[in-house]
Structure 1
Amino acid sequence: MKISEFISESAIEMLRRKMKSLKEDMIFRGIPDENGIVTDIEIIVANEIDSIASVLKKMKKNEVIIRVYPRELVPSDTDVKIAQIYGEAGGAFYIINVDVSEINAVVSLKKFNKINIDEFFSEKGVIEKNISNFELRHEQYEMAKCIEKSMNENVKLIVEAGTGTGKTIAYLLPTLLYALENDLKVIVSTNTINLQEQLLNKDIPLIKKIVGADFNYQIVKGRGNYLCKRKLYNIDIFEIENEPEETKKEKKIIKNLIEWDKSIAKNGDRGELKYEISSKIWEKVNSEADMCKGSKCPYYSKCYFFAARKNISNATLLIVNHHMFFADLAIRNQSGFYTNYSILPNYDIVVFDEAHNIEDTARNYFTVETSKIAFGRLIGQIFNRKSTGVNNAGVLPKLSSYLNENLDASEYEKIDGLKEDVVSELNSFYDKGMEILTALTKFFLRGKEQSEVKAKIDRKSLISDKNFKKIIKMNVSFREKNGNLSLKINKFLNAVNKYKLEDNEGYIFEFARYSERLKQFFKKFEFIFEGEEEGYVYWTEITTKRSNIKLYATPFDISKELNENLISKLDRMIFTSATLAVDNKFDYYKRNIGLKNEKNKKIEEKIIKSPFNYEKQMKVFIPADALDPSNLEFMRDLHDFIVKSIKATKGHCFLLFTSYSTLNYLFNSLKNYFPKEDYTLIKQNDYPRHEMIRLFKTSKNPVLFGTDSFWEGVDVQGDQLKMVIITKLPFKVPSDPVTEAIIENIKKNGKNAFTEYQVPQAVIKFKQGIGRLIRSKTDTGSIIILDNRVIKKRYGQNFLKVLPKNIVIDNRKEIIKIMK
């Protein structure tokens, strides 16, 4: 092998220079050009060879691991393992000598075939010939062409595609063509179920016809959606006299699930059930990673979850939601990007649709969280001292019964004594935990009668408070009890494990796993309560209706985390949405998710305008005589104007709010003005979200009152939606602990948080809200913006720029006349 066929002369010289200063064994990261020749190098390991995971963690997709040996170029066992794992992911592994004159290409870099989509979009091309009534759009072709380039040149692309572009076909066609041509795997990650359903039921079947090739595609659901047979058949369903009615109902549901499993279930997916099942019961029978015995489970060969995972490993295209994608990334963050322990198989191309949601979703997955309800539930899963029935008594009584059946009397007596020690310590630990969580609840409520409270846990400012000092003392005792409990559990498990019982039902296994969850709970609680790690905001959320307190540690800047764990690992990534740019630039978006230009690799950017004629299809009204939204009389003053506006279009209206309190106030003050026989008023939280949308589409003169989730992802075409009223500009509440921390961090770095974060974030949300109105070329309607800051504040120009030019700014009376 000639080394020049694999590494350029300039890179060879770089390697030689590096090795003069570092003479020990070392590993380099080789960065190839588009022809597969290494043109740049970086040291990733020197002097000491790290673990396989450590080496792979430092590599990107489609690069080269270069190992230096002083003499024979023969791979070690570790080299072979690294080469195999990284090779399967599309990378290469070379061994060179110290002089950089010889090479052993253990795994060569894969050669990629380029694609061209022109034959599909041309007049009388593949699409026109095969799909009748398919509307060829210039904007769709333009977007697909950008994605073709990003695939062929192995670069990242951000593309804002206006409503009506047909972006799903625009990204599915080139990514799938490239994947099929080069035997790669594509992930499409979305934020909403609606878009997933559209992909599965409409767009992917259409793409199959267009490309004329059969390929496997799967929607990937979370593990918790699948039934676990072992857990199901471990539940006692025998009826006992004088059982509580609730227990009888639960046993009936479990019997139905057993019947479903035996005769009807295809995939064991909760979504297959023809009836609703409570989360409380489903959690007793669902598949969980840490409760899985894998190949040691007696039901392994018939396991629904592993059957589903086999299907996804064979698929070319996988559809996931953002939450699952980042749950998978959290695992890769721990075990390395190229791993066999993740939820998803290793992938080559990622398309983030609805990509404006990535930052918040990722932040949720890097957040440490625990709660009072979770603590109580976890203790109950181990041992519930209040329960009268076996089903709800926890795993410890089941384990005790199992041990009683499988050990002789004297052996069981010893074990039972150790079990009683565990029960005693567990109850003591639970009592202290509830005491400290209750004390924290009272402390942050501070005597206020509020249904919900959010507050920062700032140790520095609270340390002088005498009540908080008492809570700190409680935690010292809580920590001691946690240590005592761990000792008792370990002693009990060590004694049980000496007998080497078969444990086919998994009672010993489950008890050990729940005990591990308990350790993790305390670890999380300490992490949040102590609040010592930099880069996090520590905060609490209290809900008095559910008598719950949640504790959080949320990173306020996730750009570095995302860059290191995802963006730096992969180049064929598409970020798309109708709302990514602010002032026709992607600076805000790129900064927040850690997208940076790398050496010799620029991120491609494109804004594709909507094919809709907004000037003709949409009218925008802004009442100039509205009060400032900070005025307490703001909504009351606009009451009559809102009533007349809604009546002008006979309903068919979305009212979008930024808070539940304003929504509830306006709903209660308006409902008497719209008779039930003439109008259908639909308020968020009165129905599930999908039911609200269905009602709106099918009801007479509907008026929908919605907050955050209704600003996006809702598609109502035709005359059923004729007006969207935006009550306030969608600025995040600055007193929210996470928002407050983000603002503080931006200020700390010497920047203006309002212009750098608050305004751009609100503009993107605003664009989403405006986008609810016009969903097709024939739709028409009006937007009313009640917030006068768009015309009275300098930053209002940022919002006005995203609107069509035919804006009517006038007093309310004149606007109503025009609307009529």
Structure 2
Amino acid sequence: MSSTSVPVDSPPPDLVRLPAAPVLLAGPGRAVWIDLEGEVHSLSGREAATRARQRPPLVCHARAVARRLDCDPFPALDLLELFAFIRPASFCPPTPHGLASALGLAKPADAEAAAGLLPQAAVALLRELAARGGRDRDAPGIAWTMAQAGWLWGPFVIAALGFGEGGAVLPKRNLGLRVWERLPEWEERPPRGAPGTQPVLPEEGRARLAAVLAGLMTGEAEPRPQQADYAAAATAAFAPRAVEGEPQVVLAEAGTGTGKTLGYLAAASLWAERNNAAAWISTYTRNLQGQVDDELAALFPEPRERAARVVIRKGRENYLCLLNLAEAVSQLPARPQDAVALGLMARWAARTRNGDMVGGDFPGWFTDLFGPVRTLGLADRRGECIYSACQHYRKCFIERSVRSARQADIVVANHALVMIQAAMGGGDDGQLPTRYVFDEGHHLFEAADSAFAAHLSGRESRELRRWLLGAEGGRRGATRLRGLKRRLEDLLADDAAALEALEEVLRAGRVLAGEGWRQRIEEGRAEGASEQFLTLAARQVYARSSGQDQPYSLEAPAQPPVDGLAEAADALAAGLAGLIQPLKALRRLLLARLDEDAETLDSDSRRRIEAAAGGLEGRALLPLAAWQDMLRALKDETPPEFCDWFAVERLDGRDIDVGLYRHWIDPSRPFAASLGQSAHGLLITSATLTDQNLAPSALNDAEAERDLKAEAWQAAERRLGIDHMAAAVSRLSLASPFDYAAQTRVLIVHDLKRGDLDQLAAAYRSLLLAAGGGALGLFTAIARLRAVQKRIAPALAEAGVALYSQHVDGLDTGTLVDIFRAEEDSCLLGTDAVRDGVDVPGRSLRLIAFDRVPWPRPDIIHKARRAAFGGRAYDEQLTRLKLRQAYGRLIRRADDRGVFVLLDPLPSRLLDAFPPAVTAQRVGLAEAVAQVTEFLDR
């Protein structure tokens, strides 16, 4: 243990006082402790944990600190809690550097400075709160409730609000948490009607882009001819449709740095204004939705105008449910331990832009602090919404988003939502958009694969039973499981036939797997047809799969079934038929009311009946019909367009689900069938649509080069489903303006022993230290990521390099990327989600190290697709695209520099994954480390 002294800050103003608490900053293996006298100590993790348990310290991100000290959570004055109270719905990476940036404080140079920053951050936040005076009306009541429950910051927040000793008397009423009472109501507006059919001409797209760029005050305003060409080409997707069922399709591959987002937004916004309709922008992930939303500030810089014209749309499960929040608050007398989490939730709910809890302005680290039950668990995650029967309906974030989208010019959605709405034949209002831009279009195949699949598993069966029957058996914490009876009985009160159908649904629904199904089948106590089927499904997987000693999921072909499985499938199919019949009757009777009671139904009741009928169709009847087809195929034969298999899903080596799975071999077919008929125009864009580099190749034969590019486009169109559409298609290829040969190096390390985790970890350690941080480590397997993280964390901590890891740190991917972006010399380890979602310009990303060639995982569905789409060539196509996508993360602007290192021999035929001007070098590890150091220093 070592110690030094640091100066103590001068006392803060009267209203602002700090707790007498030590300061703790933890890193892997070592910790900085500042005691009450200002003495700085360097402690081991065990010593720091012992001291922390004796007196609550001042920390940043208490859960992360406990993980780094390898101990259980302990009471602490967490600055993230204080930040969330004083600046709700505001961005802050959950680190000392993040706090410094958010509060305008000097960024700390080392660990001791970072520890010394924490009291400064606390003073800055409390002063900010004190300066607001009485303008923050929610704060006193919420702070008092939290303080009464033992919130360590409570007395100091109350003092800063002027309610401390000698101040005003704090009203002891629990009104602050009732934030829903103070939210504004949304308003109904008349429908806009069908979109107009006015085109956007190419020169108009260029002009709109030029106007947007002229309004920017940064270097982005510099003219970029490629971006203008892109905006002009994008307008073809907004031309009037000439033939029913034949959309105008533009396929636009634009290299990184082209500026495609503003390019397509220029065309889309002009079409929306001219035709009084919304253009939908769809991305692959919710984090990418946020990036598009940020770009829209260039089009609509005035916040109020932007709020009116731009809406982010996601599935209902992403938004805070006010009824769930109200029920949680009502339970506080019995659960006072929830007061701190619910108080901060209420602070956020009062100031959020749209109630979006996943990728919106909800702090991504919030769930790590308080767990999922009192955070993400307050969303409508099981489709239990009772719509206009809810007392909070007129203030509901979800309903506000739906109505705002009807009046918006630009709706930013994600591929999953768009495909689900298209498959259902309509969105929340029964209508579909006519114009779409699919950004990150290379992910459309994966998105369609997920959206149009069917899973007859224990978890899916149990969730459907919950949706139908609600809470069963008085299960603790089940008060929010509102079944069909609770959601519909007031609508059906005078309809004897419908009530009888409802009761039959509730009886027949017990054929589905119930709570505790997994434990029962493991113990041989299966109850009912579903659990009997799942028991035999698990038997088939364990009898015929390999790799059971590994922590990964297991799978087995569906044919031939083990003894008894076909009979169990028949019994379950019969049980499902008995459930489908009353569900159909109930839906039919609900829809009949819309006709029979048309003269007396009020608007809210009509919408509620429509929503209930739609829920019965989409949430129950469609999956049940798919499950029946899958069960029948076990006796007959799987239709050729599908692939069926059994699987046991595992998490960290523990079985979590089992079932029968069906995917389309070519999921672009249902995508094309649903969107191809309803859409008038589609722009599908990405930097990697084709398996072909955009820059001129080294081929001397121009005709051969044209043939290769045409073949690459044809393969892309097959994968995107364009082959299955009757469409007018135009193509655009724009190369990146970056000088990759000068700005990057590609190194392929050939002297590591494959499978040797010690050698792999040593390679990562050496490369990350050679770069001095700013490194992204990519892995094709979670187990290898964890093994490497554990081995290299101490060495990086010793060198003062912060290391963050997906699947190790308890943070969502978006927050990890935010931290990585904000801390220039940190390192991040991750898998596919990190590779696909990172946009980190500047020195924060200057090295990418990839553990292995990202060959496709040879599971059952991939083998079926490999046979259908070209064998080895299909594997290599997917691998090249993944390498291109990973490499493309490295250079995001003209002054970036970086090194891409692949720690696995790469076949020469795959080298064209990299730009033609870049020569990949095959080197040993020592040479790779030397080149990383030399290139980045230079």
The two structures have a TM-score, normalised by structure 2, of 0.61
- Tell me, yes or no, if structure 1 residue 440 matches structure 2 residue 576: no
In 1, the alpha carbon distance for the partners of 2:834 and 2:828 equals 9
Cα distance change, pair 770–285 in 1 and its aligned pair in 2 (3 A): closer
State whether residues 341 and 375 of structure 2, in contact with CA within 8 Å, keep that contact through their aligned partners in structure 1: no
In 1, the alpha carbon distance for the partners of 2:323 and 2:403 equals 20
AA matched with 1:712: D
AA matched with 1:373: R
Mapping of residues 21-60 of structure 1, within 5 Å: none
**Structure 1 residue 730: deviation in Å?**
1.6
Cα distance change, pair 807–207 in 1 and its aligned pair in 2 (3 A): same
**Structure 1 residue 740: deviation in Å?**
1.4
**Which residue of 2 is the match for residue 58 of structure 1?**
none
**Which residue of 2 is the match for residue 335 of structure 1?**
none
Mapping of residues 60-209 of structure 1, within 5 Å: 88=194, 110=197, 112=199, 114=201, 116-117=203-204, 120=207, 126=211, 129-133=214-218, 134-151=221-238, 155-201=248-294, 203-208=295-300
**Which residue of 2 is the match for residue 36 of structure 1?**
none
Mapping of residues 538-557 of structure 1, within 5 Å: 538-539=644-645, 540-543=647-650, 545=654, 547-557=656-666
In 2, the alpha carbon distance for the partners of 1:301 and 1:621 equals 58
- Tell me, yes or no, if structure 1 residue 651 matches structure 2 residue 651: no
**Which residue of 2 is the match for residue 96 of structure 1?**
none
State whether residues 557 and 860 of structure 2, in contact with CA within 8 Å, keep that contact through their aligned partners in structure 1: no
**Structure 1 residue 258: deviation in Å?**
9.2
Mapping of residues 365-384 of structure 1, within 5 Å: 365-380=451-466, 382=469, 384=471
- Tell me, yes or no, if structure 1 residue 475 matches structure 2 residue 556: no
Calculate the aligned-residue CA RMSD, in Å.
4.9
Cα distance change, pair 440–137 in 1 and its aligned pair in 2 (3 A): same
- Tell me, yes or no, if structure 1 residue 458 matches structure 2 residue 567: no
Which digits, 9 at most, give the CA deviation of each residue in 1:765-807, with x for residues without a partner?
111100121122111121112232333xxx224335x353343
In 2, the alpha carbon distance for the partners of 1:491 and 1:761 equals 46
State whether residues 282 and 415 of structure 2, in contact with CA within 8 Å, keep that contact through their aligned partners in structure 1: yes
State whether residues 504 and 582 of structure 2, in contact with CA within 8 Å, keep that contact through their aligned partners in structure 1: no
Cα distance change, pair 664–529 in 1 and its aligned pair in 2 (3 A): farther
**Which residue of 2 is the match for residue 566 of structure 1?**
675
Once the two structures are aligned, what percentage of the paired residues are identical?
20
**Structure 1 residue 364: deviation in Å?**
0.9
Q: Structure 2 regions of 5+ residues with no counterpart?
A: 1-190, 242-247, 515-526, 694-708, 934-938
**Structure 1 residue 419: deviation in Å?**
7.6
Cα distance change, pair 608–538 in 1 and its aligned pair in 2 (3 A): same
Select 2:407's aligned residue among 305, 311, 314: 314
Cα distance change, pair 130–808 in 1 and its aligned pair in 2 (3 A): same
Cα distance change, pair 636–472 in 1 and its aligned pair in 2 (3 A): same
Cα distance change, pair 516–86 in 1 and its aligned pair in 2 (3 A): closer
In 2, the alpha carbon distance for the partners of 1:454 and 1:713 equals 28
In 2, the alpha carbon distance for the partners of 1:280 and 1:323 equals 24
AA matched with 1:537: C
State whether residues 319 and 380 of structure 2, in contact with CA within 8 Å, keep that contact through their aligned partners in structure 1: yes
Mapping of residues 635-646 of structure 1, within 5 Å: 636-637=758-759, 640-646=762-768
**Which residue of 2 is the match for residue 781 of structure 1?**
898
- Could you tell which deviates more after superposition, 249-258 or 782-791? 249-258
**Which residue of 1 is the match for residue 122 of structure 2?**
none
In 1, the alpha carbon distance for the partners of 2:911 and 2:929 equals 24
Cα distance change, pair 216–289 in 1 and its aligned pair in 2 (3 A): farther
In 1, the alpha carbon distance for the partners of 2:587 and 2:228 equals 63
Which digits, 9 at most, give the CA deviation of each residue in 1:548-575, with x for residues without a partner?
2244211011233233322355453211
Select 1:724's aligned residue among 833, 848, 867: 848
Mapping of residues 163-562 of structure 1, within 5 Å: 163-201=256-294, 203-208=295-300, 216-226=309-319, 237=330, 267=354, 269-270=356-357, 276=367, 286=379, 301-332=394-425, 345-380=431-466, 382=469, 384-387=471-474, 391-392=478-479, 426=510, 430=514, 431-432=527-528, 433-446=530-543, 448-459=548-559, 462-463=560-561, 468-479=562-573, 481=575, 522-531=624-633, 532-539=638-645, 540-543=647-650, 545=654, 547-562=656-671
Which digits, 9 at most, give the CA deviation of each residue in 1:675-700, with x for residues without a partner?
44522222221232123223323447
**Structure 1 residue 621: deviation in Å?**
1.7
AA matched with 1:438: T
Select 2:740's aligned residue among 611, 614, 628: 614
- Tell me, yes or no, if structure 1 residue 767 matches structure 2 residue 894: no
SS in 2 for 1:658: coil
- Tell me, yes or no, if structure 1 residue 741 matches structure 2 residue 858: no
Cα distance change, pair 279–325 in 1 and its aligned pair in 2 (3 A): farther
In 2, the alpha carbon distance for the partners of 1:428 and 1:127 equals 55
State whether residues 131 and 209 of structure 1, in contact with CA within 8 Å, keep that contact through their aligned partners in structure 2: no
State whether residues 528 and 553 of structure 1, in contact with CA within 8 Å, keep that contact through their aligned partners in structure 2: yes
State whether residues 655 and 706 of structure 1, in contact with CA within 8 Å, keep that contact through their aligned partners in structure 2: yes
**Structure 1 residue 118: deviation in Å?**
7.7
State whether residues 157 and 605 of structure 1, in contact with CA within 8 Å, keep that contact through their aligned partners in structure 2: yes
Cα distance change, pair 605–470 in 1 and its aligned pair in 2 (3 A): same
Cα distance change, pair 490–782 in 1 and its aligned pair in 2 (3 A): closer
**Which residue of 2 is the match for residue 595 of structure 1?**
722
State whether residues 396 and 511 of structure 1, in contact with CA within 8 Å, keep that contact through their aligned partners in structure 2: no
Which digits, 9 at most, give the CA deviation of each residue in 1:593-652, with x for residues without a partner?
2214988x752222211111111111122235456xxx545x555554444333322232
SS in 1 for 2:792: helix
**Structure 1 residue 358: deviation in Å?**
0.7
SS in 2 for 1:603: strand
- Could you tell which deviates more after superposition, 516-525 or 686-695? 516-525
Q: Structure 1 regions of 5+ residues with no counterpart?
A: 1-84, 91-109, 333-338, 747-751
Aligned residues: 664
Which digits, 9 at most, give the CA deviation of each residue in 1:426-464, with x for residues without a partner?
3897522233323322431349344332324422xx23x
